Amino acid sequence: MRLRKFLPLLLVAASVTTLSLVACRKSDSAPASARNTATVTTTLSGRILDENHNPVGGASVKAGNGTTTTNVNGEFTLAQVSVPASAAFVKVEKQGYFTGSRTLDVAAGREHYVSIELIPRRFVGSISATSGGTVDLGSGGSLRFDANGIITEADGAPYTGTVRIAAYTYDPTAANFAEVMPGALRALNSNNEERLLKSYAMVNIELEGAGGEKLQLASGKRATLTLAIPAGLQGTAPATIPLWYFDESKGLWIEEGSATKQGNQYVGTVAHFTPWNCDVPSDFVDYETVLVSGSTTASGIPIAQARVQLISAIGNGSMYTDNNGVLRLPMPINQRIEMNVFDRCNRLIHTESIGPFTASTSSTTYISNYYSATAVTFTGAVTNCNGQGVTNGYVQVLINGNIQRAAITNGTYSFLYPSCDSSVSALLTPVDLGANLQGATVTVTGRAGATASNALSACGQSSDQFVQFLFNNSAVRFQPPADSLIAWSYPGSQETYVYALPDAAAGQQQHNLALQLRGPFAAGAQTVLALGLTHNYLYYEMPVGGASAQISSYGSTHGFIEGTFSGTVRDSLGLNSFPVSGSFRVRRDN
């Protein structure tokens, strides 16, 4: 049985982690590189976004001995946490997404900033555990399973049902690669020596049973993994390349096996499922520089939280200076590196070539044209339809295409935006979560260093969201904030994804639903490309052409998509069919 490629995956646990390794995995207790042994107390902060750069609120963020949750604007702070100085690991979990993470160098007593983009967790196919089979991973990749090679992760018992595969293929040449990939391109080789990596192909894979249980390969079994090499890397791709899996306990990639180049693909075998990476390792030196505004240390000040882009022969990446303006990281040895510095408004303000380095280096980088952003404050009262202050809601702020959200506290919102211009215009939309209403969008112009006060009314349009379906005469309804509803629009393929899942604290999901449509972004009939649901812990999906859908309203970006669907779904063995129908009203995420 096959699911259509990119069908959104409906998770079975509120917090999804990369699968722990059951079979044929190197021990997590193996000693790490000596560079990672020192522990320091520091502060980590940042912002979590989805693939459309919308803030992700309610995500769990962990680092060292600290845990917190992102606010409505996707922001978090973990103060005074104990982490390895040379491999601090920030882990982000949110239902409906693959686990996001970042590995970075930190210093005691400082504040370090990270930006992480979460990737939706989607099914790409399914196989029978007893007969095995091949699944198309998309982007030119595939995964082949032998027969009778799957076990349940919880107890290691043989599994004989349907295996569903969730996967995402990363593009090492993509501009956002450093934002979405696990950890960083840092690894321990087979001799337990730390190395930097140049990636030629990367994928994240997780297995799940028909009832939502987590699965793994049985001991002694292997699966054949094929990954396409991006066009821009094919000319330098070696004939044989090491394989690496990501180890969350270290925040590093671990060498295990190798892959061979066949045409424009790498082919290798793996004994467990986590993120996998085809990389060439290289030596490195420690590098540290302080970014200072002005031409001398005496005349300038450190530039905190500046985004720095580094471009070298082994790849590109971005990171941020700490609160003292310090950038620290391992640098590839004997490589010229282009360093680009951006201000708080994401404007390029400095470019220089650094290296090659043959030994650890400390320096100061002077930036003469740095212009410190000046905050514009947007604030005001937000009232409901009765003229009373809203107690549970937020104001969505759209500035220069960037989405921010300001929580409403005691009937008032306040939002600071760093501006590099004398004035900035913002589109403000108030939302009353308690009443499921929102007000009209208002354009407000603020001036740098000043406060723009504007009262808002969260009244006039329903902000109610829901997904509901009737399965074999049994009704199920999803509604936030208790449940998660997500809708994505993809203009290139004219496809719309809608899915719903419960925000259970733990355990398998009793119900969920995913719907993939193709058609104009307007009212009218849609082609149903895929429909899958879980009902009472069992999974069902539609046969080809087994459903229809009708859109009644297709709002603009961050507006609402409303519609209905109906059809037939079959159980995971394809033996029994059941009628299903439903309706939805979900806010577009893009």
DSSP string for residues in 465-510? -EEEEEETTEEEEE-TTTEEEEEEEETTTTEEEEEEEE--SSS--S
pLDDT at 212: 78
Distances (CA, A) of 7 to 378, 496, 499, 588: 40, 11, 10, 17
> Facing residues of 332 across strands?
284
Asked whether residue 22 carries a pLDDT value surpassing 50, the answer given is no
- Of 64, 61, 103, the C-alpha closest to 83 is 64
Strands 186-188 and 252-262: parallel
Mean pLDDT of 417-440: 91
Q: What is the second-level CATH architecture of the domain 7-11+121-277?
A: Sandwich (2.60)
Instruction: Give dist(CA 61, CA 114) in Å, integer.
Output: 12
Q: Mean pLDDT across the chain, nearest whole number?
A: 88
Give the dihedral of Cα atoms 469, 574, 208, 182; nearest 10 deg: -80
Q: How confident is the model at residue 503 (pLDDT cuts 50, 70, 90)?
A: low
Q: What percentage of the chain reaches a pLDDT higher than 90?
A: 68
Domains 34-117 and 374-462 share a fold: yes
Q: Does residue 117 have a pLDDT over 60?
A: yes
Domain ranges (residues) in the chain:
7-11+121-277, 34-117, 284-367, 374-462, 466-587
| E strand or H helix that includes residue 426 | strand 423-432
Provide the strand spans (E) within 171-283.
186-188, 194-209, 214-217, 223-228, 240-247, 252-262, 265-270, 275-282
Q: With cut-offs at 50, 70 and 90, classify the pLDDT of residue 25.
A: very low
Reference 90, options 51, 117, 57; nearest CA is 117
Residue 1 scores a pLDDT above 80: no
Q: Any bridge partners for residue 478, and if so which?
A: 467
The answer as to CATH 1.10.1240.10 being correct for domain 34-117 is no
Q: What digits encode the pLDDT tens for the residues 216-237? A: 999 999 999 999 999 999 999 9
Look at residue 298 in the predicted model and tell me its pLDDT. Answer: 64
* DSSP conformation class of 244: E
Average pLDDT over residues 552-567: 91
Mean pLDDT of 97-121: 94
Instruction: Give the fold, CATH level 3, of 374-462.
Output: Immunoglobulin-like (2.60.40)
Give the DSSP H/E element, type plus range, for residue 180. helix 177-180
pLDDT of res. 65: 95
Residue-level pLDDT at 2: 34
Rg from Cα positions in the chain: 25
pTM score, whole prediction: 0.83
CATH of segment(s) 284-367: 2.60.40.10
* pLDDT for res 317: 85
Nearest 5°: phi and psi at 35? Answer: -65, -15
Q: DSSP of 131-146, one letter per residue?
A: TBEEEEEETTEEEEE-
Answer with the residue of higher pLDDT: 34 or 344.
344
Under 8 Å between Cβ of 551 and 522: yes
CA distance 576 to 569: 8
Q: What φ, ψ does residue 582 adopt, rounded to 5°? A: -175, 180
Check residue 28 and give its pLDDT: 34
Order the strands of the 100-104 sheet from edge to edge: 66-69, 60-63, 88-93, 100-104
Express each pLDDT in 376-387 by its tens digit: 999 999 999 999
